[in-house]
Amino acid sequence: MRSFFALAWQARDMLLLPTAANRQPAFAVYARAGAGEPWVAHALHVLTLEQDLISRLTLFVEVGGPSLFPGFGLPLVLPDTAKSGR
């Protein structure tokens, strides 16, 4: 899976913030078009773990509705201070 994401994210900058969904580990994914651009909400990745291994990855893409990120208490655009905390 690591190889897939390394290839899939080469074209864009991505920032993952750890969170949780339904008591499962998750990541809020933010993307930016280029250096100096704002980090914008992109997707929520929810991991299902079995025996400490990822058995399923469920993606919720922001285009599914603007309430996805706010529903998790996450902003749609990260403040400038988040850019340096990669």
pLDDT value at residue 86:
46
pLDDT tens string 36-86 = 889 999 899 999 999 988 899 998 886 556 688 988 899 999 976 555 544
31: nearest Cα among 44, 43, 14:
14
**Separation between Cα atoms, residue 46 and residue 25, nearest integer Å:** 6
Residue 8 pLDDT class (50, 70, 90 cuts): low
The model's pTM is 0.75
**Mean pLDDT across 1-17:** 68
Q: Range of 15's domain? A: 2-84
The number of domains in the chain is 1
Q: Which residue has the tokens 């750890």?
A: 18
Locate all alpha helices (DSSP H) within the chain, ordered by sequence.
2-8, 68-71
